[in-house]
Amino acid sequence: MLRKTVLVRALQVAFTAGALSMAVAPAVMAQSNAAGSVYGKVSAGDGDTIVLKSNDTNQTRTTTIEPNGTFRVTNLPIGNYTATLQKGGNAVSTAQLEVLAGSGVEAVFATAGMTSVQVTGRRSRIDISNSTNGATFTARDLEKLPIARSVEAIVQLAPNTTRGDPTYSAGASFGGGGASENAYYINGFPVTNPLTQLGAMELPFGAIAQAQVLTGGYGVEFGRSVGGVMNITTKSGTNTWEAGGLLSITPKSTRAKYQDYYYANTGAFPTTTDGTLRLRREDNQVQQKQYSAYVGGPIIQDKLFMFAALEQTSLESSGVYLGRTALTLADNGWRDYETKQSRYFFKLDYNISDNHRVEFTTMGDLPETDTQYRSYDYATRAVGSTVNSATHEEYGPFNPNGGEAKILRYVGNLTEDLTVTALFGKSEAEHIYAPEGYNPTLAQVSAPPDVRAPGLNYNGGQPFDDDQPFNGARDEVISKRLDLEWRIGNHTLKAGIDNNKMKSMNAGDQLAGGALWLYGKTPTPNEAFAVGGGEVPALTPYGGLAAQGYYVQRNRRSTVSNAFAGQDAQYLEDRWQVTKDVAVTVGVRREGFFNANQDGTKYIEMKNQIAPRASAVWDVNGDASFKIFGSAGRYTVQMPTMIALRGANGSLGVDEYFVYTGTDANGAPTGLTPVTGVLSANSEFGQAKDPNTVAALDMKPSFQDELTLGLEKSLTPEFNFGAKATYRKLQSTIDDTCDGRPFEAYAAANNIAVSSDWHFACASFNPGEANDFLVDYGMNGNYTKVHLSKEALGFDKAKRTYAALDFFLEHPYRNGWYAKVNYTLSRSKGNTEGQTLSDTSVGQGDVAATQTWDYPELMDYAYGLLPNDRKHQLKAIGFYDVTPEWTVGGAAILASGRPRSCSGTNPNTVGTDYNYQSASHYCFGATGSQNTPSPRGTVGRLPWEKTLDLNVVYKPSFIKGLALKVDVFNVLNDQNVQKVYERYNTNQARYALYEAQIYRSAPRSARFSAEYNVRFN
């Protein structure tokens, strides 16, 4: 259990850091994107070598200038450098540079009459070294901008990103992708949640040196994402000792009132709910406190460096939990909860020599939430004084992301032109869910009055009657990676391999208490009677209570099981400097992945997913003032481990019948005699499903093709302008279908005998394409290969396109201020969101196994604007150093609302086995049978999002290192609606919650911070 404090964790690290040979950690997806590069051009005869020296650690790299005057140095740790142009061993000129992760910076040397060039703050020249799309934010940027101290807040600063569905636990949409289709890295190490792929582990915010948000155009070293990439590079120790701390509070007294939720005026419930209060929120109270500290410096000057950071965030929330018409307001109408998010980070950097470096990193993200429920009275606003129930959780439903990781990384410059990078690692997370007063071994009891034997106790037993997550479920990731880079003349060749292994142990839910005692009484004890899965014999021969017809049934139900997955990849890339102004990059990536069931048997395996990519950059004027760039590529995404839980693993649903002679103090039966064996109506004995039948054969991976074309230009020394076009098209996806009709039709057409016990459950497949399946019609282990065409399966091809035009205007940091404005005109359209489904009232958590493709009727009129579509988006950030002591900053988002759809009963499926009641694109009938088509995204849009955040920072000159800061979030208090109920009816009946609000953005709040930093020169 992850219950130890951050301080204890840090001490453990400090005392065990010497045992680095034992450390392991998950592998990096893109080693080159945990480092940066320097490039440039000099005139013929100006020099013969370039020397780069780190201002932080004194590590030095030297490279020879090519005959055409160009030079390029890669795999540099991020930070500040002095670049020296030498000729014959003598210094000719110097330049000061800042190297950013995953980016290139141009070294520009002094012209005649000058000896050095000083580059301060953000560069004004344009990075002509790559064609990736997105944005990079340094620690200085994040310090001055008014944003929440989280990775998700950084993501939203970048263009082509939108918030994921608010009912998902985490995740964002990059370029129209689903919330589970992104990849997250820290120092090149994958920290994406392996179970769901929704969100990722984070680290102390103050440990972030740079955050790179990639929304497209990235090379073959990155994979396993059709959305985007969040690439974080951390701080490291330097030759100067430094330390600091931060205290911040967002008090409840400065937070505006939460707006209440109301029922919409549907016209169907004028006297009951229409237009009335649904959920009171104005009494809600939320307060957040955060404490953090760091220290870093040299253990051995120029050789061994350390950096450590700790952070704890406490979020206290109290408010009405249930709606006005809920039936259990007296039990859990009010909820109080506190989440403590403890994070730690520790990093050692050892410069073996100028050409060899080893890094060791350990980090933890440890969320704990304690929840209490009390009564609430809507009429009087009275909150009960008695806690009726409480829960403690770690990595639970409130905060499922986190864990602990260790990373060991080596970078070696074997020659001036050959670099090797290797990484090995492991991450783990243990999910704790412990309701107060819950005894996992105490069974539930159900005994209606008419089945109770006189004089016996039937009260007591398990107080919890809902299914419980397994307490102690665990996720694990182990990864390995090796990358090579070799420069040959005008070519830079890169190659790499990686391998990831994941497992999720004891994931799923089980019956509270492990079992349910269901008491019963038969009126004919001298006769046998049928039950699910078998028969109970006549009870009279057993005598006693049994002769009177009394018996008890023990029901056990569980979906708890293990899931396994693996991924491997190889890539090869050539970056060709065609001329001094034109660079072309061509690469290919091969990926494979598998998913395995609870027994470790593979049931989905993709061996050869080929993803070619190409890009080009043209430095039009030859001086990094104007570039034209473009890219084309294919991107793939794997399936999370959780897909096995429902798709391939077994579930337990069994019953046993007994006669009994008495009951104990908990209402459980005593004196048991079994009268049946273990029975199951659906053969759910916990065994894995047949791995040969739960997925189609030779499936295509989920993949997407992308094209980008753009330009960036320095309009003046003060302003840069850019424009870019992006087009993405989903070519294939994987989900599951549960429609047995095509398989029954195939059997009938081919005269195949079908066992009475056979029924088609569900199977993963490629929607909208022909698929081959293995089917055991006879339930005897003899499989029939069933080929079903697209038409036989009844689905249109999976469609999702994203088209966008982006424009930006940037004022690089100069004269004391920085600003950037992005405008995006985009459209995300299709018949599938991807791996996720946000149309439901609560985003469906069955990633890559949603209800979308269960039956063809569900896809009628499914094509249209998708939930992540935002037609217009304007994002602006900036800060101004008014004086050396005062800085003001701002961030703003103006965005179109989410498209609205309507879902209801398909009139063509009423009375059938494939009627999902409220999941079809049919609406507006007085009854479900009278519904008419309602194509996706045609009911308008939610209101515009208008968010403005401002801050002011005061750094008094009389206390050097102190910074006092006030951030005001949502200054306009625009609590815009982000999601509503789209269900119009359920079967034949209208739904009272139609168009009622589910989620609004947070109200205005103010955060007060005090930070102190000191450097020991």
Q: Each residue of 846-862: pLDDT tens digit?
A: 999 999 999 999 999 99
Q: What is the pLDDT of residue 505?
A: 95
> To which residue do tokens 């089945």 refer?
451
Rounded CA-CA distance 603/699 in Å is: 11
- 383 and 355 Cβ atoms separated by less than 8 Å: no
Checking if the pLDDT of 693 tops 50, the result is yes
Q: What is the pLDDT of residue 119?
A: 40
Q: What is the pLDDT of residue 560?
A: 93
DSSP string over 499-546: EEEEEEEEESEE-TTS-EEEEEE-S-TTS-EEETTEEEPPSGGG-HHH
Calculate Rg over the CA atoms of the chain. Answer: 31
The three-class DSSP label of residue 108 is coil
Checking if the pLDDT of 23 tops 50, the result is no
**Per-residue pLDDT band at 103 (split at 50, 70, 90):** confident
Instruction: Please name every residue paired with 95 in a beta bridge, in sequence order, or none if there are none.
Output: 83, 117
Average pLDDT of every residue of the chain: 92
Checking if the pLDDT of 122 tops 50, the result is no
Q: Give, in order, the Cα–Cα distances in Å from 274 to each of 278, 804, 989, 996.
A: 10, 39, 15, 10
Q: What is the pLDDT of residue 111?
A: 56
Which of 772, 936, 762, 763 shows the shortest CA–CA distance to 859? 936
Q: What is the pLDDT of residue 26?
A: 28
Checking if the pLDDT of 18 tops 50, the result is no
Which of 340, 324, 485, 459 shows the shortest CA–CA distance to 398? 340
Among residues of the chain, what percentage have pLDDT more than 70? 95
Comparing 121 with 913, the larger pLDDT belongs to 913
What pTM, to 2 d.p., does this model score? 0.90
682: CB partners within 8 A, 6+ apart: 533, 653
Rounded CA-CA distance 981/942 in Å is: 12
- How buried is residue 748: exposed, middle or buried, by Cβ count under 10 Å (0-12/13-18/19+)? exposed
Rounded CA-CA distance 999/942 in Å is: 11
Please report, as a single letter, which amino acid is at residue 519.
Y
Rounded CA-CA distance 306/241 in Å is: 9
Which run of H or E residues covers position 547? helix 544-547
For the chain, give every domain's residue range: 1-6+25-122, 301-445, 510-558+652-673
Residue 299 phi/psi, 5° resolution?
Answer: -85, -40
DSSP string over 900-948: ---BB--TTSTTSTT--SS-BSEE--SSGGG-EE--TT-S-BPPPEEEE
- 451 and 461 Cβ atoms separated by less than 8 Å: no
451: CB partners within 8 A, 6+ apart: 519, 520, 521, 550
Q: Which stretches within 70-156 are classed as H helix?
A: 139-144, 151-155
Instruction: Please name every residue paired with 531 in a beta bridge, in sequence order, or none if there are none.
Output: 534
- 481 and 492 Cβ atoms separated by less than 8 Å: no
Checking if the pLDDT of 24 tops 80, the result is no
User: Average pLDDT of 534-539?
Assistant: 96
Which of 796, 801, 732 shows the shortest CA–CA distance to 764? 732
Checking if the pLDDT of 16 tops 70, the result is no
Q: Each residue of 605-659: pLDDT tens digit?
A: 999 999 999 999 999 999 889 999 999 999 999 999 999 987 899 889 999 999 9
75: CB partners within 8 A, 6+ apart: 31, 32, 35, 37, 411, 413, 419, 421, 485
- How buried is residue 167: exposed, middle or buried, by Cβ count under 10 Å (0-12/13-18/19+)? middle
- 481 and 423 Cβ atoms separated by less than 8 Å: yes
552: CB partners within 8 A, 6+ apart: 517, 518, 519, 520, 657, 658, 659, 660, 669, 672
Rounded CA-CA distance 822/225 in Å is: 24
**Per-residue pLDDT band at 35 (split at 50, 70, 90):** confident
Checking if the pLDDT of 1 tops 60, the result is no
Comparing 103 with 23, the larger pLDDT belongs to 103
506: CB partners within 8 A, 6+ apart: 470, 472, 473, 474, 560, 561, 562
- How buried is residue 111: exposed, middle or buried, by Cβ count under 10 Å (0-12/13-18/19+)? exposed
Instruction: Please name every residue paired with 243 in a beta bridge, in sequence order, or none if there are none.
Output: 295, 1014
User: Average pLDDT of 187-200?
Assistant: 93
Q: Each residue of 546-593: pLDDT tens digit?
A: 999 999 999 999 999 999 999 999 999 999 999 989 999 999 999 999
**Per-residue pLDDT band at 78 (split at 50, 70, 90):** confident
The three-class DSSP label of residue 656 is strand
Q: Each residue of 464-510: pLDDT tens digit?
A: 888 899 999 999 999 999 999 999 989 999 999 999 999 999 998 99
Q: Each residue of 956-1008: pLDDT tens digit?
A: 999 999 999 999 999 999 999 999 999 999 889 999 999 999 999 999 999 99
Q: Each residue of 199-235: pLDDT tens digit?
A: 999 999 999 999 999 999 999 999 999 999 999 999 9
Q: What is the pLDDT of residue 986?
A: 86
Rounded CA-CA distance 59/239 in Å is: 11
Q: What is the pLDDT of residue 30?
A: 36
Q: What is the pLDDT of residue 669?
A: 98
Q: What is the CATH number of domain 1-6+25-122?
A: 2.60.40.1120
Rounded CA-CA distance 361/234 in Å is: 10
916: CB partners within 8 A, 6+ apart: 851, 854, 855, 858, 906, 909
Q: Each residue of 252-300: pLDDT tens digit?
A: 999 999 999 999 999 999 999 999 999 999 999 999 999 999 999 999 9
> To which residue do tokens 């049931």 refer?
603
Q: What is the pLDDT of residue 31?
A: 43
User: Average pLDDT of 887-895?
Assistant: 98
**Per-residue pLDDT band at 932 (split at 50, 70, 90):** very high
CA geometry: angle at 424 spanning 422 and 426, to 5°?
Answer: 160
Q: What is the pLDDT of residue 912?
A: 87
Checking if the pLDDT of 2 tops 50, the result is no
